[in-house]
């Protein structure tokens, strides 16, 4: 099965875009704002909270960065207007980080103002290592003006425990994930179990320092291990949440967590850049490709 999944991954870039969209559609919440917002409502109706992300990164012009910022601002207004349970998660390179600190700072300030106006929250996604320190610097700057802002820390980086220790306190809101970027091997844990153990350590360190933690993983070993620890230590359910990517097949686990009073937030990507994102996600996890293809063909046979 592994061989078949990897074969699917190899041929995906050569397939027509319409087919890739069919294969990847469970992971994409639409192209337009309206499509995405309808999906947010559907998820809210099922009990999930949502983190919204416009697909894209590394814009090339100041105008592009401004357009993305404006789109996020309009989404904040729509969240309020429709009374949705959702916040926003952004990549700083999508609002101009590559174009200069003054451009990204200006756009980030505008987003903070929109979040505050709508009494909402903003998450700064963490990208690869060249951006890590500057992302943390900008987070600290913005936190001084508005404390409903959070960040992401990646468990595969050696530096992450030090970052958690220096940042975490009772007002710190962090999403902890494994990390997906290809980095200098000297900067990261290269063993899968080492990444898992660091993930667990990061969550416990942040929780013990009073921080709010988004436990962002589809690894059921990590979910079960950490959930048992949270229960054993009587950690209040308003100090953590579980976060998953839209479309990943683990509904039974999520339903069980929600039935036990836990918050589950779905990370909801959408937008015009769905193709590059879809190919990347499928390459990252070949098992997803096999699962999707299997269900696609089952659906076709049922239709017939």
* Residues with active-site annotation: 125, 175
SS (H, E, C) the chain: CHHHHHHHHHHHHHCCHHHHHHHHHHHCCCCCHHHHHHHHHHHHHCCCEEEEEECCCCCCCHHHHHHHHHHHHHHHHHHHHHCCCEEEEECHHHHCHHHCHHHHHHHHHHHHHHHHHCCCCEEECCCCHHHHHHHHHHHHHHHCCCCCEEEEEECCECCHHHHHHHHCCCCCEEEEECCCCCCCHHHECCCHHHHHHHHHHHHHHHHHCCCEEEEECCCHHHHHHHHHHHHHCCCCHHHEEEEEECCCCCHHHHHHHHHCCCCEEEEEEECCCHHHHHHHHHHHCHHHHHHHHHHHHHHHHHHC
The sign one gets for the Cα dihedral 69, 281, 177, 233 is: positive
208-228 burial: b if 16+ Cβ within 10 Å, else e: eeebbbbbbbbeeebbebbbe
Give dist(CA 141, CA 135) in Å, integer: 10
């Amino acid at each position: 099965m592994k061989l078949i999944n990897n074969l699917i991954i190899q041929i995906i870039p050569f397939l027509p875009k319409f087919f890739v969209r069919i294969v990847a559609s469970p992971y994409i919440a639409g192209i337009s704002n309206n499509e995405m917002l309808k999906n947010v409502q559907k998820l809210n109706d099922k009990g999930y909270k949502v983190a919204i992300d416009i697909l894209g990164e590394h814009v090339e012009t100041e105008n592009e960065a401004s357009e993305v910022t404006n789109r996020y601002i309009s989404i904040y207004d729509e969240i309020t207007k429709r009374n949705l349970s959702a916040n926003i998660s952004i990549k700083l390179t999508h609002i101009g980080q590559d174009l200069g600190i003054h451009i990204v700072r200006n756009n980030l300030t505008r987003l903070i103002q929109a979040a505050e106006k709508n009494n909402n929250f903003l998450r700064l996604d963490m990208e690869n290592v060249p951006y890590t320190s500057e992302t943390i610097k900008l987070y600290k700057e913005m936190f001084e003006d508005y404390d409903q802002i959070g960040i992401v820390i990646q468990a595969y980086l050696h530096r992450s425990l030090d970052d958690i220790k220096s940042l975490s306190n009772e007002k710190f809101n962090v999403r902890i994930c494994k990390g997906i970027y290809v980095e200098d091997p000297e900067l990261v844990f290269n063993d899968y179990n080492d990444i898992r153990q660091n993930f667990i350590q990061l969550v416990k360190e942040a929780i013990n320092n009073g921080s709010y933690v988004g436990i962002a993983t589809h690894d059921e070993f990590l979910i079960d291990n950490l959930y048992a620890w949270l229960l054993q230590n009587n950690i209040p359910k308003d100090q953590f949440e579980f976060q998953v990517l839209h479309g990943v097949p683990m509904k039974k686990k999520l339903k069980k967590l929600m039935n036990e009073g836990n918050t589950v937030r779905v990370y909801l990507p959408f937008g015009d850049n769905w193709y590059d994102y879809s190919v990347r996600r499928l390459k990252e996890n070949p098992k997803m490709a096999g699962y999707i293809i299997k269900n696609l063909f089952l659906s076709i046979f049922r239709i017939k």
